[in-house]
Chains A and B, each alone.
Chain A
Amino acid sequence: MEMVNVEHLTKLFPLRKRLFSREKHYVYAVDDVSFKIEKGKIMGLVGESGCGKTTTAKLLVRLLDPTSGNIYIKNENIADLRGKELKKFRKNIQMIFQDPYESLNPRFIVHDTVAEPLIAQGLYNTEKIYNALEVVGLKPPEEFLFRYSHELSGGQRQRVAIARALVIDPIFVVADEPTSMLDVSIRADVLNLLLALRKKFDLTVLFVTHDLAVARYMCDSIAVMYLGKIVERGNAEEIIKNPKHPYTKALLSAVPIPNPKAKRKRIKIGERVSDAVNPPERCRFYERCNYKKDICKRKYPKLIECCKDHFVACHLYG
């Protein structure tokens, strides 16, 4: 069953208009992005910084309003929800933020932090708070309830952030780089916790990360983003083992391997030159691509299915 279905999602940020200039300039942060996530699956969204990953994540939880496009969650379109209806719907989708040092209010004790979504929805219930803390491994909950966030370690903070997201029984969770601020030995712990919680509650997760190795470990499917567009998506193992798009190939070839004997072949591509301000019709990756053809300059390639459940947006295929 599809839990999340995103169709032609677009978000433009206007740049400040110059005095006397008529044309408006826009940053195409997310440009015509479509994907689906099945119930109980984790989809990874990967790409370099500035490619639109976090904007997509924020659009899905409606922290930003989309310029156009539809977001269906459980067959309900939430892209145009406003006011009371939106607030009511918010209990179904929750977000885990990147930096637990900033996403927790330093004046709140753990209880207040975790209780907040419940209070906002009028569902306050002490038992739920206890359960949520226990589920994320902060045991016994009594010991943590009255601590401030500065009294917690990085790993514990991120657990509190996860408890806050789960306390309200969401059906869809957006995790925006939840482990990039954590240390190696603690990171593995939090990743395993997220996997266990997914299994336990049959959660649907969008996992935003820049780390392909983490994406491979966590996700069932992966979507690769480049300058606001999804250039490739499909089954996680398939994308890692058999990448099609020149950008995905280059990205994978740049990941260092924790094994001194593994000799990897580097694919050399140039540094990024174009940005997402009023991009021309051509392929966004054109300047850096090693396989560019004439047609790449004229037309943006459509996302086509090159083999089963593997989509790629490149003129080299199809």
Chain B
Amino acid sequence: MDTILEIEELEMSYQTIKGFVSAVDNVSFKIMKGESMGLVGESGCGKTSLGMCIMKLLPENARIMNGKILFDGEDIVPKTEEEMRKIRWKGVSMIFQAAMNALNPVYRVGDQIIEAIQTHDNISKEEAREKVEKLYELVGLSPERMKNYPHEYSGGMRQRAIIAMALACDPKFIIADEPTTALDVIVQDQIIDEIVNLQKKLNMTMMYISHDISVIAETCNKIGVMYAGNIVEYTYTSTLFDNPLHPYTKALMSSFPSIEGPKKELKPVPGEPPNLLNPPEGCRFYPRCSYAEEICKKENPEFVEIEKDHFLACHKVI
């Protein structure tokens, strides 16, 4: 299988008046063609920042300090805005979180997608329109709705339109950033179902960002668990659920209630996530970790492959 995205020791910080906030720190992983990777973690742990790094849609105060982002074998970190524009949407595209804000309220939805296609592909408006019609059918919307404005769509339909837009230029890689967070349970379920089906049908490579480990469990074949800017564990979904190794992964799993099986007591993680302005020395999880030892305070554990395709950053298990 070909590697489509490879990230090596990526480090990204936001410059603030109080100093640098290290939002993504020493992150390395690979995604193969056709895979779907879930990125799970709490808010503020750097999930979205990592996604934005790959798109290079970073705000002005963000700096990529170190590391490489190899997309299709090419490092995109040194690329200029002009060069990035060619990669975005055709190479990497994104399904944004708030579907309401991602669409322009004063343009018809269909026209917005046509515009996106025409910016990247040199085709006539008629051809673009036909393409959008096909996309609408693909994501389960009636092509007649193309002439409607965003406020005439329901939440679920808007999210479908956003998915259609992300697929518009046949991207090689899609980042879905919490695509269902603002939706009701039933609509969320329909959208997840749609994404999973599309992923299979188009053999898409996808990175799915969510705070909800149960959504990831159903959509992705690999999971990366992120905590305070670090990816602490990365492996196949089934392996992670059968045999979670990092204390944070274990804690995360036992703090989720489920409607299946017997009622279990939730075990919360003590404490709060660290302030990334001055993250703790050593392992960033050690102040909340019940297995912490002396070494955890001093050294940040390396992110290593401890079994085949099972990556982990923890002193205790190594």
Which A residues have a C-beta under 8 Å from some C-beta of B? 48-49, 153, 155, 183-189, 191-192, 210-214, 216-217, 237, 240, 250-262, 266, 268-269, 271-272
Query: Can you list 30 contacts pairing A with B, beta carbon distance less than 8 Å?
Result: A49-B184, A183-B43, A184-B213, A184-B256, A187-B268, A188-B256, A189-B270, A191-B266, A192-B266, A211-B257, A213-B257, A213-B258, A217-B263, A237-B263, A251-B185, A254-B185, A254-B189, A256-B189, A256-B192, A256-B212, A257-B217, A258-B256, A259-B241, A260-B217, A260-B237, A260-B238, A261-B238, A266-B193, A271-B156, A271-B157
The one of B42, B186, B256 in contact with A213, judged by C-beta atoms closer than 8 angstroms, is B256
The one of B186, B193, B238, B257 in contact with A251, judged by C-beta atoms closer than 8 angstroms, is B186
In the complex, chain B residues whose CB is within 8 Å of the CB of A261: 238, 241
In the assembled complex, B68 has its CB within 8 A of some CB on chain A: no
The one of B185, B217, B266 in contact with A255, judged by C-beta atoms closer than 8 angstroms, is B185
In the assembled complex, B215 has its CB within 8 A of some CB on chain A: yes
Contact of B217 with A259 in the complex, beta carbons under 8 Å: yes
B156's nearest neighbour on chain A, judged by CB, is A271
In the assembled complex, B305 has its CB within 8 A of some CB on chain A: no
In the assembled complex, B211 has its CB within 8 A of some CB on chain A: yes
In the assembled complex, B75 has its CB within 8 A of some CB on chain A: no
The one of A184, A212, A257 in contact with B211, judged by C-beta atoms closer than 8 angstroms, is A184
Q: B281-293, CB under 8 A of A: which get 1 and which 0?
A: 0000000000000
Which B residues have a C-beta under 8 Å from some C-beta of A? 42-43, 154, 156-157, 184-190, 192-193, 211-215, 217-218, 237-238, 241, 251-253, 255-260, 263, 265-270, 272-273
Complex-state Cα separation, A185 to B156, whole angstroms: 28
Q: A188-B268, A266-B189, A271-B187 are in contact. Are A183 and B42 (CB under 8 A)?
A: yes
Known pairs A213-B257, A256-B212, A258-B256. 6 more at Cβ < 8 A?
A: A155-B272, A184-B252, A188-B255, A188-B269, A189-B270, A257-B214
Complex-state Cα separation, A309 to B268, whole angstroms: 32
Complex-state Cα separation, A282 to B187, whole angstroms: 24
In the complex, chain A residues whose CB is within 8 Å of the CB of B267: 188
In the complex, chain B residues whose CB is within 8 Å of the CB of A184: 42, 211-213, 252, 255-256
Complex-state Cα separation, A269 to B252, whole angstroms: 32
In the complex, chain B residues whose CB is within 8 Å of the CB of A240: 259
Complex-state Cα separation, A287 to B122, whole angstroms: 44
The smallest beta-carbon distance between B159 and chain A, in angstroms, is 11
A256's nearest neighbour on chain B, judged by CB, is B214
Q: Which of A189, A256, A261 has the most CB of B within 10 A?
A: A256
Contact of B186 with A254 in the complex, beta carbons under 8 Å: yes
In the complex, chain B residues whose CB is within 8 Å of the CB of A155: 272
Complex-state Cα separation, A191 to B257, whole angstroms: 10
The smallest beta-carbon distance between B16 and chain A, in angstroms, is 16
- Tally of contacts, chain A with chain B, CB under 8 A: 120
Complex-state Cα separation, A88 to B253, whole angstroms: 45
In the complex, chain A residues whose CB is within 8 Å of the CB of B156: 271
Complex-state Cα separation, A252 to B187, whole angstroms: 13
Complex-state Cα separation, A183 to B269, whole angstroms: 11
Complex-state Cα separation, A188 to B264, whole angstroms: 12
The smallest beta-carbon distance between A211 and chain B, in angstroms, is 8
Contact of B253 with A213 in the complex, beta carbons under 8 Å: no
Contact of B215 with A256 in the complex, beta carbons under 8 Å: yes
In the complex, chain A residues whose CB is within 8 Å of the CB of B186: 48, 250-251, 254, 269
The one of B157, B193, B260, B266 in contact with A259, judged by C-beta atoms closer than 8 angstroms, is B260
In the complex, chain B residues whose CB is within 8 Å of the CB of A48: 184-186
B237's nearest neighbour on chain A, judged by CB, is A260
The smallest beta-carbon distance between B42 and chain A, in angstroms, is 4
Contact of A192 with B268 in the complex, beta carbons under 8 Å: yes
The smallest beta-carbon distance between A180 and chain B, in angstroms, is 11
B188's nearest neighbour on chain A, judged by CB, is A254
Complex-state Cα separation, A257 to B187, whole angstroms: 16
Q: A48-B186, A185-B42, A210-B185 are in contact. Are A260 and B268 (CB under 8 A)?
A: no
Contact of A153 with B42 in the complex, beta carbons under 8 Å: no
Contact of B214 with A258 in the complex, beta carbons under 8 Å: yes
Contact of A188 with B266 in the complex, beta carbons under 8 Å: yes
B272's nearest neighbour on chain A, judged by CB, is A153
In the complex, chain A residues whose CB is within 8 Å of the CB of B266: 188, 191-192, 217
The smallest beta-carbon distance between A267 and chain B, in angstroms, is 9
In the complex, chain A residues whose CB is within 8 Å of the CB of B193: 266
In the complex, chain B residues whose CB is within 8 Å of the CB of A216: 257, 259, 263
The smallest beta-carbon distance between A209 and chain B, in angstroms, is 11
Complex-state Cα separation, A269 to B266, whole angstroms: 32
Contact of B43 with A257 in the complex, beta carbons under 8 Å: no
Contact of B253 with A255 in the complex, beta carbons under 8 Å: no
In the complex, chain B residues whose CB is within 8 Å of the CB of A187: 255, 268
Complex-state Cα separation, A252 to B258, whole angstroms: 11
Q: A184-B42, A266-B193 are in contact. Are A259 and B185 (CB under 8 A)?
A: no
Complex-state Cα separation, A233 to B184, whole angstroms: 20
Complex-state Cα separation, A26 to B17, whole angstroms: 51
Contact of B257 with A257 in the complex, beta carbons under 8 Å: no
In the complex, chain B residues whose CB is within 8 Å of the CB of A186: 268, 272
The smallest beta-carbon distance between B123 and chain A, in angstroms, is 32
In the complex, chain B residues whose CB is within 8 Å of the CB of A252: 259
The smallest beta-carbon distance between B259 and chain A, in angstroms, is 5
In the complex, chain B residues whose CB is within 8 Å of the CB of A217: 257, 263, 266
B215's nearest neighbour on chain A, judged by CB, is A256
